Amino acid sequence: MKEFIAANGGLIGTIIIVMVSFNLLLVGVKSSLEFIKDKTKTDVDNKAFDIISKISAFVSKVLDMVGYNPEHK
């Protein structure tokens, strides 16, 4: 674990990399849910899409604040 943290620029760099990876995963799940949410009869996927969208938006804002995407400050 220490080697992984050191290889990624310390603790802050590792946290940013993990958050970016987590956000990419959320975006993939969000895209999948967006594709199927209107094709099913249940509301479970619609609610999951809404929750994932909110979490993804929050993580994106945090990444913007720490400087991952300085264009959107």
pLDDT at 73 exceeding the cut of 70:
no
b/e per residue 54-65 (b: at least 16 CB within 10 A)? eebeebbeebee
pLDDT at 23 exceeding the cut of 80:
yes
User: 20 with 68: CB under 8 angstroms?
Assistant: yes
What are the extents of the domains in the chain? 2-72
Cα 59 from Cα 17, distance rounded (Å): 12
Q: How confident is the model at residue 70 (pLDDT cuts 50, 70, 90)?
A: low
Q: How confident is the model at residue 34 (pLDDT cuts 50, 70, 90)?
A: confident
